[in-house]
Amino acid sequence: MTTKPNKLAIIVGHNVRAPGAVRVTDGQSEYVWNGRLAEMIKSHNPSGIQIFRRTSEGGYSREIDRVYAEADRWGATCCVELHFNSDDNPNARGCLVLSSGTAGSIALAKEIYPRMAEIMATKKRGIEIRRRHDRGGRSLWQGKSPCIMTEPYFGSNVADCMVADRFMDELAEAVYRGAIAFMKGI
């Protein structure tokens, strides 16, 4: 019996035209910062990890549908969409993972969230469930494989940004190791 190889799809949140939140420390957008993080994650297993980027043609729903269809065609075992949080309050802090609430998504979140939270050593916001029509929900529900969205820190908080930058390698490793642990368990 041939075993299908485990494949981790990394989705870089946002796109070139709508790059997401901007960090207060250096002006980098979610799209730019998480693009670098995605490359660091992929370096752990270049043949078993593929990076997917949303394109801005046809509106939000179409770009989500398109990028998750690409991950499905590639045969993703699981998907991790990379983001960071932002708030008008510069003191807002914390590490969060969003899940669809399905058994696979919850299991993936439970592997990745504690690893990220330990590295970020900030307010632990936990795992939040998003339904299909909630903000961010389309990403969590669109693909065939279990998916989560990471929000490891607040780009609007100077201290959170500094920790994320200092421990970016460790954050990449946390996502990778958590995904590997999840895939070994399925």
The CATH architecture assigned to 8-185 reads 3-Layer(aba) Sandwich (3.40)
**Which pTM was predicted?**
0.96
How many angstroms separate the CA atoms of 140 and 154, rounded? 21
Cα 175 from Cα 67, distance rounded (Å) = 20
Q: From residue 8, how far is each of 15, 47, 66, 121, 146 by CA, in Å?
A: 20, 10, 17, 25, 10
Q: Please, are residues 140 and 97 in contact by the beta-carbon 8 Å criterion?
A: no
pLDDT of 141 reads 96
pLDDT recorded at residue 56: 86
Cross-sheet strand order for the sheet of 8-12: 49-53, 8-12, 78-82, 147-151, 95-99, 124-129
Region 162-175: mean pLDDT is 98
Distance CA 152, CA 174 (A): 11
Residue 161 has a pLDDT of: 98
Q: Write out the two tokens for 168.
A: 């970016």
Asked if pLDDT for residue 145 goes beyond 80, the answer is yes
pLDDT above 60 (res 32): yes
| Residue 186: predicted pLDDT | 85
Kindly indicate the confidence band of residue 2, based on its pLDDT and cuts at 50, 70 and 90.
low
Per-residue confidence (pLDDT) for residue 140, from 0 to 100: 97
pLDDT at position 3 over 80: no
Residue 1's pLDDT is 53
| For residue 173, pLDDT beyond 90 | yes
DSSP 154: B
Q: Distance between CA 30 and CA 27 in Å, rounded?
A: 10
> pLDDT of 48-98, one tens digit each?
999 999 998 888 899 999 999 999 999 999 999 999 999 999 999 999 999
CA distance linking residue 72 with residue 142, whole number of Å: 10
Q: How far is CA 141 from the centre of its chain?
A: 14
Average pLDDT score over residue span 114-129: 95
Distance CA 29, CA 178 (A): 25
pLDDT above 90: residue 115: yes
